[in-house]
């Protein structure tokens, strides 16, 4: 598993956005307010199966919670919008997003009986290693799998490239396709399985 999920899709998106905002240097209280709003919006999608009603509920949540945010947090919120709000909410109710938000890897990982190598870069800001690697190990162990290796690789981003920050904007600046550290970890693990 390379940068695989051990948490739900909803948890992944909330922690991902918080990490990206942290890397951007935003104050903790603004990040916390934004994370609470994002979580409430995403939970509304899961709870309401009808897209129109889900969008209406999201608009209500957005307006209520936005009013409670600091001026700085409202400015940050405005910069996060790539398109009109109704279009963003519509995109969040797509079949794929609904599936991803509800996806819980625990059910699948508990069924895996073959040897597993789960690796993640410690600078990954899309699938946070500190959240997902322990969860992967927990679910594999809960299913009775005793042949798994969990490994956090230092200074690697989501694409397993050597990175300074792990921020998404850094991807295009990195020439490395995949770090030799990642290849070594994979190769060593495969060799150990074969032997």
Same domain as 122, residue 81? no
12 Cα distance to chain centroid: 3
Same domain as 14, residue 47? yes
CA dist 59 and 40 (Å) reads: 11
The enclosing H or E element of 128 equals none
Which conformational region is residue 136 in: left (phi greater than 0), alpha (psi within -120 to 50 degrees), or beta?
A: alpha
CA dist 181 and 77 (Å) reads: 37
Range of the domain at 32: 9-102
Domain end call among 102, 119, 138: 102
Percent of the chain with pLDDT over 90: 72
Q: What mean pLDDT do residues 113-125 have?
A: 97
Tokens of 129: 């290693």
Same domain as 175, residue 112? yes
87 occurs within a structural domain: yes
Same domain as 73, residue 59? yes
Same domain as 66, residue 32? yes
Same domain as 82, residue 56? yes
40 occurs within a structural domain: yes
Q: Does pTM top 0.85 for this prediction?
A: yes
Residue 82 has pLDDT above 80, yes or no: no
Q: How many helices (H) does the chain have, and how many strands (E)? A: 9, 2
Same domain as 139, residue 124? yes
CA dist 1 and 160 (Å) reads: 12
One-character DSSP codes across 9-58:
HHHHHHHHHHHHHHHTT--HHHHHHHHHHHHHHHHHHHH--SHHHHHHHH
Q: What mean pLDDT do residues 176-187 have?
A: 98
Same domain as 116, residue 91? no
Q: Are 125 and 23 a contacting pair, CB within 8 Å?
A: yes
- In this prediction, residue 74 has a pLDDT band, given cuts at 50, 70 and 90, of confident
Same domain as 25, residue 13? yes
* Structural domains of the chain, count: 2
| Mean pLDDT score across all residues of the chain | 92
Q: Are 7 and 135 a contacting pair, CB within 8 Å?
A: yes
Residue 70 has pLDDT above 90, yes or no: no
pLDDT score of 47: 96
Rounded to 5 degrees, what are φ and ψ at 132?
-85, -40
Domain end call among 102, 126, 157: 102
């Amino acid at each position: 598993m390379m940068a695989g999920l051990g948490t739900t899709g909803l948890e992944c998106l909330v922690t991902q956005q918080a990490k990206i905002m942290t890397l951007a240097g935003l104050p903790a209280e603004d990040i916390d307010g934004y994370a609470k709003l994002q979580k409430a919006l995403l939970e509304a999608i899961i709870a309401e199966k009808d897209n129109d009603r889900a969008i209406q509920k999201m608009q209500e949540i957005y307006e209520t919670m936005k009013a409670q945010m600091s001026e700085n947090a409202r400015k940050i919120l405005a910069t996060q919008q790539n398109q009109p709000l109704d279009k963003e909410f519509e995109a969040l109710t797509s079949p794929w997003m609904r599936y991803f938000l509800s996806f819980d890897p625990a059910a699948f990982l508990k069924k895996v009986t073959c040897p597993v190598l789960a690796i993640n870069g410690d600078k990954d800001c899309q699938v946070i290693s500190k959240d997902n690697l322990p969860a992967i190990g927990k679910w594999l162990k809960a299913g009775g799998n005793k042949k798994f290796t969990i490994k956090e690789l230092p200074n690697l981003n989501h694409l397993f490239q050597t990175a300074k920050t792990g921020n998404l904007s850094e991807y295009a600046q990195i020439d490395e396709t995949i770090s030799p550290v990642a290849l070594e970890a994979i190769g060593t693990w495969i060799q150990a399985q074969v032997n």
